[in-house]
Every structure is written in structure tokens, then in C-alpha cells.
Chain A
Amino acid sequence: MQTTLSINGIETEVNAPEGTPLLWVLRDRLGMTGTKFGCGIAQCGACTVHIDGLPGRACVTPVDSLDGASVTTIEGVEGPEADAVRAAWTEIDVPQCGYCQSGQIMSAVALLQVNGAPDDEAIDNAMAGNLCRCATYMRIRRAIKDAATRI
């Protein structure tokens, strides 16, 4: 099935069998491995990308549903929120193994784009869908607040 979508600002044509999730198109066909596989059923958030500006789970999003859509991944996310999140993440050393952190960062950037000063509850609500088995949660909360002050 032919689908045309924008990935990190680049017009991309994808020819994949119907129902193929965006995640595997990114990873296996386009070689963009920053977006991770964790569960395949939208329960862990490791595959979080932005679809038309909103956070979405690439593992359950059929690529054929994205004709004309604009997708942003960890490799391409930019702007003041992304800069602030990367700076805070680095300053605090949020990640441990780092595997879930592409998804954590994409969710955090999306949160800061709509809420410039999130409190603990807003952070918990926005980030509850992103599992971290290293349990870097304390530092993610701190880094999001820190990032908010940098924007």
C-alpha cells in the first residue's frame, strides 16, 4: 500500500502491507532506529513519536492511516521545548540504559508544548504511559521542571 507522509520534514513514500505499524516502517525500512520497540500494544511508550504535533504510539499506528500526516521522531524533534528537554536531560543525567528515553523525551516535549509550567500532577498524567524499567522517574520529573525554566 502506498502512503505519502512527512517524516522529520522530509516527504517520504512508503510502500508497506496494509496494517504495518509506523514503528516497523521507521526501524526496519527507513533505518531510523531511535524510536524503540517495547511492547507492541501501546502500553510502554518506548515508541512515542509526534503525529501532526501530538504524541502517539508508533507501534499501533498503521502507516497507511498516516497519508498526508506529519511525523516527528527523536532524530528530528527540534524547537525550544526539545532543546530545553535535551539540555535538562543531559544536565541531570536522566537516562540510565536509555532505551525508553526516546519515548520519554517525545512525551516530555509534547507536554511542554502545551503546558509551560507543569506541576507534579500534570507531569505524572502526561508521562504515565511511558514505562522506565530503570525507574528514572524521579529524574524525569525534575528534568521536566528544569526544562520548563529553560524555555
Chain B
Amino acid sequence: MFYPTMEKQTLAKRGFAPVTRRDFGLATGAFTVGVALLGGRAVADQTAGGLPVTPGGEVDPALFITIEPDGIVKLTCHRSEMGQQTWTAMAQILADELDVPWELIEIVQAEGHPRYGDQNTDGSRSVRWNMERLRLTGAAMRAMLVSAAAERWGVDTADCQGADGIVSGPNGRSTTYGELAEAASERPLPAERAIRLKDRSEWRYIGQPMPSLTVPLIVRGEGTFGIDVRLPNMAYAVIARPPVVFGSVRSVEDSATLEVPGVLRTVQLASPKAPALFKPLGGVAVIAEDTFAAIRGREELVIEWEAGPNGGYDTDTFVAAMLETAGQQGTVRRDRGDIETALAEADRRIEADYVVPHLAQAPMEPPVATARWDGDRVECWASTQAPQSARSTVAEVCGVPEENVTINVTWLGGGFGRKSKADFVAEAALLAREVGRPVKVTWTREDDLRHGYYHSISAQHLEGGLDADGNTMAFLHRTVFPPIPSTFQAGAETPSWGELRLGASDTPFATPNLRLETGDAPAHLRIGWLRAVANIYHAFAVQSFAHELANAAGRDPKDYLLELIGPPRLIDPREEGVEEYDNYGSPMEDYPIDTGRMRNVIETVADMADWGREMPRGSGLGVAMHRSFCTYCATVVEVSVDDEGRLAIPAVWSALDAGTVANPRHTAAQIEGGTLYGLSNALYGEITTSSGAVEQWNFPDFRVMRMNEAPRRMETHIVESVAPPGGVGEPPTPPAAPALANAIFSATGERIRRLPIFSGERRDRLAVRDQS
């Protein structure tokens, strides 16, 4: 093994440690550079909530980038592709600094391994955490190619340039990167001072609307999702899981199942004990020669279930209890001024309670995984967002060392946080070992909705104190929800700092008196991440309440929101009693909380929507702004409500400031999709339980926005910025719900404080219509 290590220490400070690797069974003449993050990030991502974070890669490098003798550049993408176009973005960043023709880039999907550093494709951080590292790698490789050419020609490197896959030198000499690959691999890694990153004015791919690398395959039905994996001699499984979390099988009768043509056998799986972690839920698996036979066989199972400790969970009752908690003094988590005196002395005091239900991520591809054993080694294929935790989960559940587990990452048919949890991968591994054949476990839609890791249910109480002029002098926010750490630590009931920083501990309001309190709530479902996580309910409450305060003050909601935010400045919640604020795993000095950028996106979106124009009767505009994942997003929703309470959303405008964006076309797509995901959840999204079991079963009662319900008009604006890249996949979601609720209030006078808007008997009509 040959690892030039010069300069590694200095480069490591910038999160970069390139290592060439030539003797790894690669094609002769190839030039490979591996990159590993050394040490760890200054701040780990707390939303991981107990999930072991792999901060940096091992010194043993990842096989990241290879230039083949024919000039093809193979980039090992360590992030999972789930529609956010991470393949394309990673390729753009590398291709730019390496300076190669776009057509020469090929993506190799990385398996799950700690050598890649963080692979948890979650938290809107693929570009945020990898842009600099990939730029440096591309630039270092280009310098080595130039150096190889200069040596070959006996000229000074300063007289040679690498561009568009070709190194050119004096007297018209030129040669391709491919021809130089072998020689370049012999060159020493450049010193940091020798790596010249392009000025952004020289960028040719970063910031350009490069076409997706996956779409040409998708339109032909090609490409392999988790559900598409097929292995020789593979059996198919579906599983009847306990309806209640930590429930178990009391008895099972499978004789009718075994008579279904194609069914091979059943397998009983052990039920886990708390904490849930990513352990399979247990139940009875039906193994068959095809998926449908397994589904049919499962229908014939007669199972008596033991409900277990969560059999009393009823979400309606639980919400009432959470509201009671939210109505009482809680634990102070951030404090400015004297909130009690300010509220007591207020000219007017406004109060409101907000409730947001459990939600299911409901990716179009449900969880699916395939596993195959060879002796005591297991190879898995799965649409996973977190292949490293899939690897450790399979190892733990199967009782084998991690080195014996290989996780191959397929395309993901959507993830939205569900596929960060590897319970389904472990199911496949357990069953494949038991059956002695490769097994694919398919979750049906009913399984996905009933046995998920749900977005937490929440109740929030807000109070505002206005002075005689309508200025908000006091702002109290009390939030209550079963926390994500309950999934990792049995009995955890206290909202974690990692969840509070998702839109609660970082509320940007300049009010002289401000307090955040929390109340405890126990978890009775497995609680997990869902696109934007706790930002969803926090933004809904805070941005709705801002509108309520404006209304109480008799002021324009957009102007009042700007006033609440106050003048452009940087905020640090740690100065006001917030004990931990990890800023989404990015350093505060690079990614400060900047109210100037908040104001800018609000003013921009207001211009786009022609805010302040006269609206026809029954129509209204609503605005909301939220910073999450180090990105700023403001949204205006227009609604119209007819005399019978039917709601339409004719138009939506969004302004997003994500700093430097890799690809504006795909960023716009994330703004559109993320906003509609938020609107869909606000309109219809709801997981409820009765006696511990989820009541929804499929899309008829877990309703998702359809084409005919989507706005006819949607305009997006990406703020031009030289700031470092923020997240893109999640930040558009949080402001969608409050902007919608605020628009409904403007149109009808009805204030939505409990989501979803259409629920129970109110399936498709608003209850109240203000005729004034």
C-alpha cells in the first residue's frame, strides 16, 4: 500500500485528506484519489438523536475518484440518491475543479462503510458537507495531472494548464487526462498552497442547471430501486407485524397460509424490547415464491397478538394530555428579559394552542430490502439513506461482526427520513439466514403506514404580550412532544436540544422578553425523522402566531413579521440560556443565524406575490419564513375559498437563500416538491392511533396531495449568494403549512390551529366561512 501523507495535517484542518491508491486491483494505468475526512467535525449533528454518527472517515481512504486510461472519471458517490439529485450535484462539483467534459463523469454508488465519513443522507447536508472537500479533491487531481504532463514534456508546470479533460503546454503540446492517468498517479500529492481552487467566476458546472444523471434512465423504466433487486433463487417475504409497538405474537395459526399456492413457509420473528433503535418489530413472516403469494398467504394468517406496553395509546386522549402540559409552566430552555413581568404588564395578552399530528413519510417506494448469506457473511441490497447504520444494525441483530456485513445501496424511491432506519434491512438478513436462500422483504403500503418511525405528535402553547401601540413586548413559546431520543433510549420524554434547535430555540424574534419552555411527553410509537423534522411543527406554531399577533395589533402580517424579526443582525441562542445549539452540524462562524437574510427572503417573496394587492372576496395571501438547515425560505400561499368552504390553492411563491447552490434547476425542483410536501401534510397528513394501533391503512385514508390539488402556478426564486452552501431538500417544507394557514385566515377569518386542515368529518370543506 502506498499512501503519500505529506500535507495531510494541514489539509485535514479543512476537512480534507487525499490519498492516492494505485495497487487496489484497479485497471492498470488508472489514477485514483481517495479522500477521507480526518478527525471529526467540530460539532456533531444532534438530530441523530443517539444514532452513532461517523464524523470522519478512517485514514484508510475511500475509493472516491478514478480517472481511467480512456478518460472516464468515476466518482464514488457516498450519499444515497433519492431524488434530490445528489449524483448530479456531486458530479458537478468534482467535474468543475477537475475540469473535465461533463460526458466523461460516471457515478459509482458507494456501499455502506465508515471509510466514507458520514453517509447518512439526511439533514440536507450532502452538498453542505461535501462541496469544499470535493472541490479540493478535483483541484488536487488536476494539479497532479498538470505536474505529470510537465514532467513528461520537461517544462515548467506553470506553463501547463488542465482544462476540459486535456492538459496543454508550451508549443501547442496537449494530451488527455486519460493518457496522463498512470503518470499522474505517481506524482506526489500537491501541497495545499499548490492547490488553486477556481474563482467562482471560472465555474463551469457549479451553479449551472446541469441535467440530471438519473432521469435518462428513469424515463425508460431503467435503474434499480430497492424493490427491483433480483437474485438467483430468491424467495419473497412479507411480514405480519404486531399492530402495537413492542407487542408480540401470542399464537399463530398458519395452515391456511401454507395452502396458498407459492407459499413456502412461515417464520416467527422475535419482538424487540425498548428502546426500539432500528430493530425489527417481530411478527410472522410469510416466505413465498413471489410477492403476491406472500401477500395472499399473509391474509390467511390467524394471529392473536399481545398488545404490550403501548396498547393504551390513543392519540386523541394523548393530545388532550399534551395540551394540559403545554398550559402549565414548563422547563425553561431559553430566556431573555423578564417574560412573566412583561406578560403581566402587557396592554393585551394573546394566547393560542397549536397541535400537529403524527405523520408518515410515505415514500412512493415502501421500505424493501434483499439479503443473501454466504457462510457467516451477509450481503444486503436496500434503498437506504443510512447504509452505515444499516450495516451496524444488521450486524447487531444477526450477531455477526460488522466486517461480515455488506450493504449495497440502490436508488431510493423517496426517503423523507423513513429510510434512515434499517429495521427492514435487518428483517431481510434474519429471514435469509433462516430460510437458507436469498430473501427480499417487501413492505406493502399498509405496512409502511402502520409500522413506521413517525414524525412526532406535538402540542404548543404560545403567548404574546402587546403594548398599547401593538408592539410585541413578550413572546412565550412552550413546546411538548415525544422526543426522537425515545427511539434510542427507553423512557426518554424530554424534548432534546437537537430538536429544539429545529425552529424553537433559534426563534429570531427581537422582542425584549422571550422565553422557550418545554414539557415532557412519553412516546408510544417509534418516533423518527421526517423531512425537516421538528421544524414542521415549530414553524407552524411560531409563524402562525406571528400572524395572530399582527392581526391583534391591526397590522399587515408581512410588515409585522419583519418587525418581530427586527433589524439585520446575527443571533446566537447560546447567549440566552440555550445550552446546546449545533446549527445543523455546521459551524456558526461559517453559517451564522442572519436576520438580514431572513428579511431579504420575506421582502423578495412579497414582491413576487405582489403582496398588498386587493384580493377578491374569499381569497387571501399568507406569508411565512423559516430558517432551517442553514437556509432561509419564505413562502407566500394564495388561497380561494368558495361559499361552501371548498379550498383551492391557485398560486404559491417561494424565495430561498441557500447560499451557494450547486444546481439551480434541481434546487428549484426541491423548492417546489418540498413546499408541496408541506402543503400536502398540512391539508391531509395524519397518523392516529386507537388502542396503540395506527388507524390509517393506505392512501385513501392517508391522503397525499394529487395533481388536481396542486397549485396551478408556482414561482420560485433562488437568492444569488456567495455564502457557503446551505441545505436544500428540507428548508422549503416548514414555511408551507403556516403560510397556508395564514392565507386561510386572510381569506375567511378562520384560524387553523390544529393540523391537518381536512380531518375526520371535515374531509374536504372548511368549517367556517366569514361572510363579511
C-alpha spacing A96/B363, complex, angstroms: 12
Residues of chain B lying within 8 A (CB to CB) of residue A136: 669, 672-673
C-alpha spacing A53/B134, complex, angstroms: 48
A-B contact pairs, 16 of them (CB 8 A): A20-B292, A33-B224, A34-B222, A36-B413, A43-B700, A86-B220, A93-B85, A95-B218, A99-B225, A101-B219, A124-B707, A127-B707, A135-B676, A137-B710, A138-B710, A138-B711
Shortest C-beta distance, B451 to chain A (Å), equals 16
On chain B, which size bracket covers the interface? 35 or more
B153 within 8 A of A: no
Residues of A within 8 A of B (CB): 17, 20-21, 24, 27-29, 31, 33-41, 43-44, 46, 73-75, 85-86, 89-90, 93-102, 105, 120, 123-125, 127-141
Given A99-B364, A135-B677, 11 new contacts (CB under 8 A)? A44-B699, A97-B363, A97-B415, A98-B411, A133-B416, A133-B704, A135-B675, A135-B680, A137-B707, A138-B710, A138-B714
C-alpha spacing A71/B290, complex, angstroms: 21
Within the complex, which residue of A33, A46, A93, A124 is in contact with B215, where a contact is CB–CB below 8 Å?
A: A93
**CB-nearest residue of chain B to A75:** B221
C-alpha spacing A85/B677, complex, angstroms: 25
Residues of chain B lying within 8 A (CB to CB) of residue A37: 227, 291, 366, 442
B107 within 8 A of A: no
Residues of chain B lying within 8 A (CB to CB) of residue A102: 218, 221
What 10 A-B pairs have minimum CB-CB distances, sorted nearest first?
A: A34-B221, A99-B413, A97-B83, A96-B83, A74-B221, A135-B676, A98-B218, A124-B708, A24-B292, A33-B228
C-alpha spacing A90/B707, complex, angstroms: 20
B568 within 8 A of A: no
Interface-central residue, A96, A101, A120, by most chain B CB under 10 Å: A96
Q: Does A134 lie within 8 Å of B414, measured CB to CB?
A: yes
Q: Does B212 lie within 8 Å of A93, measured CB to CB?
A: yes
Q: Does B700 lie within 8 Å of A138, measured CB to CB?
A: no
Shortest C-beta distance, B510 to chain A (Å), equals 34
Shortest C-beta distance, A43 to chain B (Å), equals 4
With A36-B227, A41-B698, A43-B698: A105-B291 Cβ-Cβ less than 8 Å: no
Q: Does A137 lie within 8 Å of B295, measured CB to CB?
A: no
C-alpha spacing A27/B291, complex, angstroms: 9
C-alpha spacing A111/B643, complex, angstroms: 33
With A36-B365, A86-B220, A135-B710: A97-B669 Cβ-Cβ less than 8 Å: no
Q: Does B212 lie within 8 Å of A95, measured CB to CB?
A: yes
Q: Does B225 lie within 8 Å of A38, measured CB to CB?
A: no
Residues of chain A lying within 8 A (CB to CB) of residue B293: 17
With A44-B364, A96-B84: A17-B215 Cβ-Cβ less than 8 Å: no
Question: In terms of DSSP, what is the predominant structure of the interface of chain A?
Answer: loop
A-contact 0/1 string along B700-712, CB 8 Å cutoff: 1000111110111
Residues of chain B lying within 8 A (CB to CB) of residue A93: 85, 211-212, 215, 665-666, 669
With A20-B292, A136-B669: A95-B214 Cβ-Cβ less than 8 Å: yes
C-alpha spacing A138/B445, complex, angstroms: 25
Q: Does B699 lie within 8 Å of A43, measured CB to CB?
A: yes
With A27-B291, A34-B220, A97-B363: A40-B445 Cβ-Cβ less than 8 Å: yes
Shortest C-beta distance, A133 to chain B (Å), equals 5
B261 within 8 A of A: yes
With A34-B222, A95-B218: A130-B707 Cβ-Cβ less than 8 Å: yes
B146 within 8 A of A: no
Residues of chain A lying within 8 A (CB to CB) of residue B39: none
Shortest C-beta distance, B409 to chain A (Å), equals 14
Within the complex, which residue of A33, A43, A124, A137 is in contact with B676, where a contact is CB–CB below 8 Å?
A: A137
Shortest C-beta distance, B145 to chain A (Å), equals 31
Residues of chain A lying within 8 A (CB to CB) of residue B220: 34, 74-75, 86
Interface-central residue, B290, B295, B670, B700, by most chain A CB under 10 Å: B290
**CB-nearest residue of chain B to A28:** B290
Which B136-195 residues have a C-beta within 8 angstroms of A?
A: none
Within the complex, which residue of A29, A36, A140 is in contact with B707, where a contact is CB–CB below 8 Å?
A: A140
C-alpha spacing A94/B219, complex, angstroms: 10
Q: Does B676 lie within 8 Å of A24, measured CB to CB?
A: no
Within the complex, which residue of A73, A98, A131 is in contact with B83, where a contact is CB–CB below 8 Å?
A: A98
Shortest C-beta distance, B694 to chain A (Å), equals 16
Q: Does A98 lie within 8 Å of B214, measured CB to CB?
A: yes
Q: Does A98 lie within 8 Å of B699, measured CB to CB?
A: no
C-alpha spacing A31/B273, complex, angstroms: 39
B216 within 8 A of A: yes
B262 within 8 A of A: yes
Residues of chain B lying within 8 A (CB to CB) of residue A96: 83-85, 669-670, 673
Q: Does B218 lie within 8 Å of A133, measured CB to CB?
A: no
Residues of chain B lying within 8 A (CB to CB) of residue A97: 82-83, 363-365, 411-415
